[in-house]
Amino acid sequence: MQEKLRNHIEQIVRLTNDEFSFICSLFTTKEYKKNQFLIHEGESVMYAYFVVSGLLKLTYTDGTGKEHIISFAMEDWWESDFPAYFTQTKATMSLQCLEDATVFCLSLENYQKLCFDIPKMESFFLKKSNLGFIGSQRRILSLLTNNAKERYEQLLILYPALFQRVSKTQLAAYLGVSRETLSRLYS
């Protein structure tokens, strides 16, 4: 299981065995069941999560009680309520398992220790953050400029595996369309 983390990191930076042993010492491993929450809105955010196995969804619930899916996180992805994690404020989003999941958890204190003690890990996290920003901006632009059919087709091209792992209701919430609209696109 730790080899998945090493392979993931080494796609960006090379590690010695001693460096990787130190990195592993800063993570904890947790297992969650389907529907279990890793983060609840309004609570402290203790960790950033690296998904070893399973599927998670990050959601925001608006003032009317409507749930908006911000993102899905599958194997080899990082997820958290990052604004709350980095500013150590209360979560505005919730993170929930859509499947049984195994994750590596990294506290902010250990994240900072990792970046300080192994500077190339700061480069790793910077690259991952930049890729995340790029993905977020593409998603925002897609929501602003593409119609439902174009957003659906883009998601199908980028993440075809999601269509086997996520319900149509959740796909609709992610795409910002009704379940009925998605059914018309899906057929």
Domain spans, the chain? 2-145
Query: Helices 148-158 & 179-186, crossing angle to 10 degrees?
Result: 60
Q: Residue 187 has what pLDDT?
A: 60
pLDDT for residue 183: 82
What's the length of the chain?
187
Q: What is the pLDDT of residues 28-71, one digit of tens each?
A: 999 999 999 999 999 999 999 999 999 999 999 999 998 899 99
Residue 178 has pLDDT above 90, yes or no: no
Third-level CATH fold of 2-145: Jelly Rolls (2.60.120)
Dist CA 56 CA 97 (whole Å): 4
Structure-token pair, residue 114: 């990792």
pLDDT in tens, 96-147: 999 999 999 999 999 999 999 999 999 999 999 999 999 999 999 999 999 9
Determine how β-strand 101-107 pairs with β-strand 56-61: unpaired
One-letter amino acid of 87 = T
pTM of the model: 0.92
Structure tokens at 87: 């500013």
